[in-house]
Amino acid sequence: MKLNIAVLPGDGIGPEVVEQALNATIAVCEKYNHELNYKHALVGACAIDETGNPYPDSTHELCMQSDAVLFGAIGAPKYDNDPSAKVRPEQGLLAMRKNLGLFANIRPVTTFPSLVHKSPLRANLIEGADFMCIRELTGGLYFGRPQGRSEDGNTAYDTCVYSRYEIERIVRLAFEYAMKRRKKLTIVDKANILATSRLWREVSKEIAKDFPEVETEYLFVDNAAMRMIQWPKSFDVIVTENMFGDILTDEGSVITGSMGLLPSASIGAHTSVFEPIHGSYPQAAGKNIANPLATILSAAMMLEYAFDLKEEAGLIRKAVAASMDIGVVTEDIAGDGMKPSSTTEVGQWIVNYIKKN
């Protein structure tokens, strides 16, 4: 098979972890005789520094010409610490989502036996937890208009907007994922307060009639946030709107014991983007200590969901699990008395595993 991917390392630790994920992808493609073509492009703070635009037209063109996008992270302290900055790295991420039609962010939350002790929750609560969060990405409060401040600057306002079409396409996608898993879907909203949430619930109930095999439940977002901590094993697939999803997916990520382990996929109308859920972690940039596993697992998701290469994706996941089992891990998840490995050492171990197995 011929695979064409755009590689967008981004900022901070992005280039370091994306390099390891790309190496694992190259190794798998060589093993299974796939033709892999890839090109790099700028996004985020590095793109602002070079072009003044966090998502340059040339980057967008490359993404549109590619079958999938492997993405690192964006963000830089000099922009975070400057409230007057008119152009920010995060605007590049929003522009990419909008221009590529990335309407659904998919985050699997899976526990690893060797890391249960790292979770802030008791082992008996999280052992075997395995659920998927699907977050709407291109609507809601983050994109609603009007948005702004009053002339005196003392009042600010944002607008949450959702159309029936936006809700239908993501809720239907969530039902389809539930059908492939344990056939349970949790729809999260705030329908007791918000008009947009009432539309979400109304549309979801209509679509649920087309999926009678799926057990469907509706939770207010505050209740869902509590239950994710109290009973994470009760979830299978969760779907929700943009801001609620932003918060709940980060909450779910810490259950596993490390944000450095969780991949994600953003499913789009034109192409799909695969990225780790962690940020750019600028404090670690250039130190060769960042955990590359989430990005490597994102590459596995890319192979499975963008190219339907399940066996190849499975081999990468086996390599990741094996590296954790024998303790070839970075300092963030190394146990007491363990010598942590560097970013490149973890990446090279996984490449060697792929070549040998």
pLDDT classification of 80: cutoffs 50, 70, 90: confident
Q: Do 117 and 88 share a structural domain?
A: no
- Mean pLDDT, residues 144-148 taken together: 92
Domain final position from 230, 262, 294: 262
Cα 205 from Cα 297, distance rounded (Å): 34
Q: Count up the domains in the chain and report the number.
A: 2
Looking at the DSSP bridge assignments, the partners of residue 249 are none
Task: Return the active site residues.
Answer: 142, 190, 222, 246, 250
Answer yes or no: do 255 and 124 share one domain. Answer: yes
Give the pLDDT confidence score for residue 55 in this predicted structure.
Answer: 98
pLDDT, residue 160, reads 97
Could you tell me the maximum CA-CA distance found in the chain, to the nearest angstrom? 66
Strand partners, 37: 4
Q: Are residues 113 and 248 in the same domain?
A: yes
Handedness of CA 187, 189, 191, 194 (dihedral sign): negative
Cα pseudo-dihedral 293, 20, 276, 83, rounded to 10: 130
Collapsed DSSP state (helix, strand, coil) of residue 237: strand
125 and 212 within one domain: yes
Tell me: do 38 and 75 sit in the same domain.
Answer: yes
- Average of per-residue pLDDT across 289-315: 95
Q: Is residue 40 very low, low, confident or very high in pLDDT (cuts 50, 70, 90)?
A: very high
Distance (Å, rounded) from C-alpha 259 to C-alpha 264? 11
Q: Is 115 in the same domain as 222? A: yes
E strand segments, the chain: 2-10, 35-40, 68-73, 102-110, 130-136, 148-149, 156-157, 184-189, 215-220, 237-240, 263-268, 272-276
Q: Which pLDDT band holds residue 32 (cuts at 50, 70, 90)? A: very high
Using 50, 70 and 90 to split pLDDT, how confident is the model at 112?
A: confident
Cα dihedral across residues 349, 324, 109, 17: positive or negative: negative
Contact 143, 103 (CB under 8 A): no
Domain that holds residue 280: 1-100+271-357
CB within 8 Å of 81: residues ≥ 6 apart:
none
Query: Are the CB atoms for 88 and 53 separated by under 8 Å?
Result: no
Query: What share of the chain has pLDDT > 70, as a percent?
Result: 99
Q: What's the predicted TM-score (pTM) here?
A: 0.85
pLDDT at residue 173 is higher than 80: yes
Examine the fold and report which residue of 234, 262, 290 is the final residue of a domain before the chain moves on.
262
Is the domain of 123 the same as that of 239? yes
Strand partners, 148: 157
Do 135 and 87 share a domain, yes or no? Answer: no
- State residue 235's pLDDT score: 98
Structure-model confidence comparison of residues 256 and 187, the more confident one: 187
Report which of 274, 230, 27 is spatially closest to residue 125, judged by C-alpha positions: 230
Do 59 and 148 share a domain, yes or no?
A: no
335 with 287, same domain: the answer is yes
Considering 239, 262, 285, which residue would you say is the last residue of a domain?
262
Alpha helices in 41-156, H assignment, sequence order = 45-51, 57-65, 77-80, 89-99, 123-126
Q: What is the pLDDT of residue 81?
A: 75
165 Cβ contact partners less than 8 Å away, ≥ 6 residues apart: none
For 62-75, what is each residue's pLDDT tens digit? 999 999 999 999 99
The verdict on 152 and 39 lying in the same domain is: no
Contact 55, 71 (CB under 8 A): no
CATH of the domain at 216: 3.40.718.10
- Same domain for 143 and 225, yes or no, is yes
Q: Which residue has the tokens 């802030």?
A: 120
Average pLDDT, the chain: 94
